[in-house]
A and B are shown apart, each in its own frame.
Chain A
Amino acid sequence: MNTQTSLNFRTNAAAAIKDSSLRKAMRNATETFGSKRTVAMASIDFEVLREKASAIRMEVINNLPAYIEKFTSNATAAGAIVHRAVDAKSANQIIAGILKDHDVKMVAKGKSMVSEETHLNAHLEEEGFEVVETDLGEYIIQLEGETPSHIIVPAIHKNRQQIGKLFHERLGMEYSEDPQALTKFARKVLREKFLTADAGISGANFAIAESGSLVLFTNEGNGRMVTSVPPLHIAILSVEKILPSLDELPTFMRLLPRSATGQMLTSYVSILTGNRKEGDVTGAQELHVVLLDNGRLEILKGDCREILKCIRCGACMNVCPVYRTVGGHSYGWTYPGPMGIILTTLLTGMANSYSLVDASTLCGACNDACPVKVPLKEMILKQRVRRVKEGYSSTAVSLGMGLFGMAIKHPLMFSTGETLASKFWSVMRTVGGENVAGRLPSPAKIPFSRRMS
């Protein structure tokens, strides 16, 4: 079980709503993602492709243990050392252990959401290793001491002024708000890290069972750097991110970048198969692959197992009206937006997450956007049902629902309720509050049904 102090979504969100620079950043992001995605999707048949992608992912999920075995066997044959980590603690310890064995001082790190989930950086730093995030967005938030607020663009909640100030204060760069100048400065600073790091740690978008390969979709080049320059490369990914063979990869090459950033394809797709072999001058001397469970095999047994199809594109949060308004930090854990509601609830437990399942208007835009057809809206509803069953619904709501349920079956009780509400509306307003009852019009003196008799 992932430990997490209980998060209060409403409190988190209320603070976010008042943050005008965050609102502006989220607006800019949503508009940009929206228009780019529309353009990108015009060049493929999205419905046909995502049906295909969904089927491929379900095939893997329905046979997951076999695919994990197959990947492990083939990756090992290619020269990788594969580790199974049952939970976050285990993964962190395995990785720290590998670094210790190799006398590593400094690690250059590529982006990995799973490493955020396990709090890998914090553990490694505690163990005395220097960890440098090399993805520009991750680097920015590492400097700031924050967590990512989006799974693709981690620093999306920050504007150029904030980043300019950060680079000026923390890196001694002459103040500039120009994204070009800031990026070029980061290139210079991080180049030295790539070329001298003792080890590289990366995530992976997919693991290919048949060839034992890892696949990374990146744009900046840092992913390529950390996986091929240092002598030691450790990749961490969660167990469900498997595709059967490289023949299935094109479908995801067509869907993932378009869904994530509106690009036809990322600048780089790296397919890494094992470590450096006889005759190679490319590849890490030693490659370790850490396959993380951390609750996924448990999800496999339940009625929301389709969430394991998720390919971490971020499309669902980009179209979510709630995410757009409050940003990623309000969700209180690693993954925000619709997929975040489901994963957080399933992986950290209902006791922690019960307020999070309210974070949806059930508009269904996420279902429409998902490139692997995860039924996100239906799963959020399932978690709400579960919340009631497990007793995490508030007493007031349960009482209200009980009364409501009775009134629905008894028209006389229903119309009496309407009459009372109308008569005592000023009281209802006070009880209900300005923000809820205050937004409703006063009830009609004569309800429609009475006009129909």
Chain B
Amino acid sequence: MFRFYGLLKYSFICIWSVYVIAPFMWAITTSFKDFNSVTGGATYIPWVDFEPTLDGWRQLLLSPSEGGVALVQPYLNSIMVTLLSSAISLVLGTLAAYSLSRFKFRAGFIKNSDITFFFISQRIMPPVVLSLPFFIMLGHLGLLDTLIGLTIVYIVLLLPIAVWIMVDFFNKIPVEIDETALIDGCNPVQAFFRVVLPNSIPGIVVASLFCIIFGWTDFFFAFILTFTEVQLLPVAVVALNSSITPWWSLSAAALISVAPLIIVAFIVERYLSKGNLSGALK
């Protein structure tokens, strides 16, 4: 009975792993193809099914006047904007979340849960319509096509996530911990920084992960609000989409754009496991 269950477990994991990996395998092999290797039907193994070339990869380094898409600068820009806006959103969001979890707010009929919902509801609005007013707003402030302008807009996108995740995590940390610290003579601010925060590392790690992901992968606002100075990675990659969709360079670009986040995934996993230990130390 257990063996069957074990077999089931591992088969499910294997099937899902194949599902996850398959597109990347396809991307890897496709990144070495060219027009003829693609139009004759699906091909899989280099040298066996088709003649591999480095065109797809080279296109990512060449400048547009040579037929490529220079991805280096957009790559760095994306990193900067994502990290900056995530950091600010995390700080502001964690603070706000803590207060929403621990304290009671009342302003007329607006309660804690309403304020939390207000934060979260910022995610509902489809970005399309916000493009015009943000464009106007940043235009008037002279912040179009700047890192700062984009960061400001991204804070609107990421702050709600930080708030929502941290509220959930803070709610799970028993109030006793805070009270113990207060009894020991700390004021609430000290209680927060010295006691509660260290216990909520898993939450912070998850929140930063989501902030980074949603910031890194945004296409829309980066598209509308930037021109030449600050190009972000998704916009630069989509600019490869000419009359012919170049399967090869897009595959290469996809692989490159996911690479840094894989590193982030490793880091997250480590902290998650660690978080488990600190929970058990209670």
- Tell me if chain B binds chain A: no
Residues of B within 8 A of A (CB): none
Residues of A within 8 A of B (CB): none
